[in-house]
Structure 1
């Protein structure tokens, strides 16, 4: 059984002795707190595991045993401390059973070792904390371990890098389920970026890096405020007081990408928000985001997001369970992530 996007309401947090408390608390905060506006519904968080399990002084009283994972729509496996030993067999079996029952399964940090032990990462891309990527690859040679990303979305299986990257993945799940506007609202409530750069190959767009002491601190914010203009590299260079060559070098260092690619991803992000929150036509959205024409917007939007703008709007604007084609939309997005 495969759950469609509007059905993914129950999130089960897999708990066992030795779990890392940062990831446990982070997942509880994201999925266990009330919904931010404009979300119309939210998750039912269930903690599944033995009584009193946790890490150090951090303990949680579970709602169910590990067998409760099998009824969840999404299973979150936090990082666990002792990667030098095999993950607990009961946890591995429960996670595998949940996946076989149709659950979407995500690991945070070293939780990837649990997914790998369950065989869920075989033949897939995955990541974990940078300090343990070599060990994951050596122990599980059928897994394609990518050490250079914050998280990897393989559709029904997702993995994140260490610590703060767990927040990136959790916000990505919220974005998939509830749209960019809700994920951004949640990020503002948590006082974190809605999405971070860092060389990741996800099919989601990147925000302005946090203000800081770098030559692009002002020009990035200025560019986002003027996305309706046909900005060029020279425009950005003049604004930053740099040559085009130096601007490109600083862009690589600060954002991990080129000026033009960064501009394109900002325009796609803005288009997503407009499609979710307004009734503007695709032509108007194209003009407002600086994409020029609806044809240009559709081409870049389809390539980046995986579905056309109109389909994206129908999915994330209303989100009823009976939306015609909703299953196909989610399948298309998943397939795009898997490529």
Structure 2
């Protein structure tokens, strides 16, 4: 069996739902659009994307002699698990984070592919969203799907809930597949459903407005004018992927990944009254480590401010005393949303200016 087919079959046997081969070239049009996106500042605080620009345009910087890319798609279209009993379980988590960190789950698959490629005399190197590689572009070029109006890769068989991984190889493609036809048509459900209007008309996302960026990557307080738009999103957001008709049609298809109810419906109390070290132990191997404890506590208070879920009231008071100033600032805002300005007294003279400013602004609104 040719090396290409051997690696395809191995990837599918290890849990990939769909695979395809892409040329390694990055079209000039994609490079120009990506550069414009960066120049417009739509990558927000993800400055590493600027530093990685050249590497993303030149995959040979990752693997010398690279000539093709094996793209793996793994579904995270889960049937929602049953919500555990007890605790303060308010807020939504993006589906991909319902399972232990996909990086750690897919890395062994790529390791096995690399090892088998070496046995076949093929040089290869795998990436799972942790290197400067344009996975969605390669996914589209591999005929796995097309770049939807949400900017996500969309498949007619798997919808938009696909996690991508790539294996760079030095195999020469005998033939280059045609680009997958665009099946979005006139549909704009993803664009109109975005709670903060983050999706542009050019199939790009402005991270400055994106709930996923704000709740995961953004450091410090959330922008005041976007907090209500965050709604009940505790971690990430996948509204645009979930409303896609192709996602709805595909239904729950996840095979390799399995959801953990404690991640799909986390108890918000676990983000308060614990040290960062304890939080890291409790959530080791999960995506929640990215925003850290104080980020998750900040998000929890934002959700409670928006939902006013009565069971979350004790957490507002705990947040008011939190050692992280970002959490205390979020608590001040949430107390204001609850109309509980009388509980702001400890924050009116907080050591941190941002906390004092928020608390005083809200207090003066009475």
TM-score of the pair, normalised by structure 2: 0.27
- Which is bigger in relative contact order (C-alpha 8 A, separation at least 6)? 2
Q: What TM-score do the two structures reach when normalised by structure 1?
A: 0.29
